């Protein structure tokens, strides 16, 4: 597989350092509120990246942290009158629920900043010993940016300006390139931190945000590992600072490859609460869309291009044209799958393990190759639809259909698509929205399990949404209620 590397500004081949397992780290969510669909663009593309590696035959080791102590988590937990732990546990659980709905593979490890305070304190001690950090009179500790020769390499800061301009120290976790400064490794306890402080050789306080990733990468991935990833906003200062901390400590290159994802925009603009265009999965579900439909939208653009999520139609109404398009696309994929499955005589959908084992691409090999070529998801989608159009399913032998279906499901699995159900011959069900189809599937499962109250409850839920489920010899049909 090939992928663009921010450090070298080139597309480079990926190969695991140890020759066996690709080991990578993704900066995870700050758990102080629901993740928005921009965050999920990043996490979803990282998931497609991992799935593509795995389906092309490589084992992976995926670490993604939880930021559960920083300026924002402390501020908002106090405003909510909760302990920091209760507050961040709540948002972590919500994040997991959203990830599951979006079909994101769980990382192999999900370490949290609060659980690694001693590791962070130890790292500060090393940096001080090596002359890269200094304590200030108030008990904070700062990283001395001028002590690290390579500072600014990832974000291409002008080295000359840096030497002349890098003076002073910044206590905030987030700042822009114009204010390159020594940054906080340890923040002395302040009034507004409430009960959220720890003891250290420099007094009471808490770690700066950038340090947690350096400490956890080293703990779980070692001094050098294969790839590090995050949204493009993390290139500076977060990843620049991580490199400075880690490499000054260990003397080794932190990561071989840097994978950054361009931001999602909403109706052409930056997402923000004040602009009223800050969408969460929950909001989109309330508007009648499914996580699978959102996932389709999120992978529809290349990760190095901005993705503009169109929420409003030409009249300014919030009709979510992008999601309606995704719904149609998924229905086409689902209908094709039903036809292909019928041809194979094997209705079972091939599972992830079967797909990992197979290499048989047939008509869909090109779509999978598009993913291996700098994770080109729009190209992969285009090739899937071209292949579907070109394939004359009725002319395939059952063996050919089986091979095509494996290839089809292999690329669907890489994209992480769960197809909505399409039942019956007439295709009338195909017109039911994905969430209705899902409820009908759940009802079928309840009936199979002879859970009649649950089946009745689901029938009523479907009816309340304007659809009728009719039992037939083959299964059921979904019809809009008059």
| Residue of this chain nearest to ligand AMP (CB atom) | 231
According to the binding rule CB under 6 A, does residue 301 interact with ligand AMP?
no
Closer CB to Zn ion, 157 or 217, in the complex: 217
Contacting residue, 124, 141, 188, 213, with Zn ion by CB under 5 A: 213
Interacting residues with ligand AMP between 263 and 282 (CB under 6 A) = 263-264, 271
Strands 205-207 and 169-170: unpaired
Q: Are 440 and 423 in contact (CB under 8 A)?
A: yes
Exactly one of 29, 111, 205, 416 binds ligand AMP (CB under 6 A); which one?
29
Q: Which residues does 454 contact at the CB level (< 8 Å), separation at least 6?
A: 443, 446
Q: What is the DSSP string of 313-326?
A: -TTS----HHHHHH
CB atoms within 10 A of CB 412: 20
Binder of residue 140, out of Zn ion, ligand AMP, none (CB less than 5 to 8 A by kind): none
Taking CB under 6 A as the criterion, the residue among 6, 39, 112, 331 binding ligand AMP is 39
* Interaction between residue 41 and ligand AMP (CB under 6 A): yes
Q: How near is the Cβ of 230 to Zn ion at its closest, in Å?
A: 6
Which residue, 41 or 257, has its beta carbon nearer to ligand AMP?
Answer: 41
CA–centroid distance for 16 within its chain: 21
Q: Is 235 in the site for Zn ion (CB under 5 A)?
A: no
Query: Which of ligand AMP, Zn ion, none is residue 213 near (CB under 5 to 8 Å by kind)?
Result: Zn ion
207 binds, among ligand AMP, Zn ion, none (CB under 5 to 8 A by kind): none
Q: Does 261 bind Zn ion (CB under 5 A)?
A: no
β-strand partners of 309 = 266
Residues 242 and 246: their CA atoms lie apart, in Å, by: 6
SS3 333: helix
DSSP readout, 22-78?
EEEEE---B-SS---HHHHHHHHHHHHHHHHHHHTT-EEEEEE-BB-SSHHHHHHHH
- CB under 5 A: which stretch of 132-140, 164-172, 208-216, 298-306 binds Zn ion? 208-216
Q: Is 27 a binder of Zn ion (CB under 5 A)?
A: yes
326 binds ligand AMP (CB under 6 A): no
CB of 246 to ligand AMP, least distance (A): 18
DSSP, collapsed to helix, strand or coil, labels residue 456 as helix
- Collapsing DSSP to helix, strand or coil, 260 comes out as strand
- Tell me which residues touch Zn ion (CB under 5 A): 27, 213
- Tell me which residues touch ligand AMP (CB under 6 A): 27, 29-30, 38-39, 41-42, 67, 230-231, 233-234, 261, 263-264, 271
């Amino acid at each position: 597989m090939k992928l663009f590397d921010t450090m070298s500004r080139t597309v480079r081949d990926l190969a695991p350092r140890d020759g066996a397992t690709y080991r990578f780290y993704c900066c995870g969510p700050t758990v102080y509120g629901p993740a928005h669909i921009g965050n999920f663009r990043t996490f979803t593309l990282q998931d497609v990246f991992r799935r593509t590696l795995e389906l092309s035959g490589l084992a992976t080791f995926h670490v993604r942290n939880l930021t559960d102590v920083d300026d924002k988590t402390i501020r908002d937990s106090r405003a909510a009158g909760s302990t920091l732990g209760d507050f961040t546990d709540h948002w972590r659980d919500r994040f997991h629920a959203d990830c599951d709905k979006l079909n994101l593979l769980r990382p192999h490890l999900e370490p949290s900043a609060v659980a690694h305070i001693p590791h962070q304190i130890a790292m500060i001690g090393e940096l001080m010993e090596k002359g890269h950090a200094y304590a200030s009179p108030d008990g904070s500790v700062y990283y001395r940016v001028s002590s690290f020769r390579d500072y600014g390499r990832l974000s291409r800061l002008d080295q000359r300006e840096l030497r002349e301009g890098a003076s002073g120290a910044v206590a905030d976790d987030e700042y822009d390139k114009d204010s390159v400064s020594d940054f906080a490794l340890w923040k002395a306890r302040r009034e507004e931190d409430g009960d959220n402080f720890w003891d250290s050789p420099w007094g009471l306080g808490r770690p700066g945000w950038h340090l947690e990733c350096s400490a956890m990468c080293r703990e779980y991935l070692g001094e050098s590992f294969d790839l590090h990833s995050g949204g493009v906003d993390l290139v500076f200062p977060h990843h620049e600072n991580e490199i400075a901390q880690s490499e000054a400590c260990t003397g080794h290159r932190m990561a071989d490859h840097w994978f950054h994802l361009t931001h999602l925009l909403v109706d052409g603009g930056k997402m923000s609460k004040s602009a009223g265009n800050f969408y969460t999965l929950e909001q989109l579900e309330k508007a009648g869309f499914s996580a699978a439909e959102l996932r389709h939208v999120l992978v529809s653009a290349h990760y190095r291009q901005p993705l503009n999520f169109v929420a409003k139609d030409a009249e300014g109404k919030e009709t979510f044209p992008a999601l309606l398009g995704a719904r149609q696309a998924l229905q086409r994929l689902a209908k094709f799958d039903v036809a292909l499955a019928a041809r194979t005589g094997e209705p079972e959908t091939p599972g992830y393990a079967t797909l990992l084992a197979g290499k048989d691409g047939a008509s869909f090999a090109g779509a999978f190759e598009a993913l291996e070529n700098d994770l080109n998801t729009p190209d992969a989608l285009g090739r899937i639809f071209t292949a579907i159009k070109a394939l004359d399913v009725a002319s395939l032998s059952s063996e050919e259909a089986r091979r095509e279906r494996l290839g089809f499901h292999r690329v669907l699995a890489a994209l992480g698509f769960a197809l909505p159900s399409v039942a019956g011959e007439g295709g009338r069900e195909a017109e039911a929205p994905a969430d209705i189809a899902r409820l009908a599937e759940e009802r079928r499962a309840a009936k199979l399990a002879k859970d009649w109250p649950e089946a009745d409850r689901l029938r009523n839920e479907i009816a309340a949404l304007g659809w009728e489920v009719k039992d037939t010899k083959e299964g059921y049909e979904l019809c809009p209620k008059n």
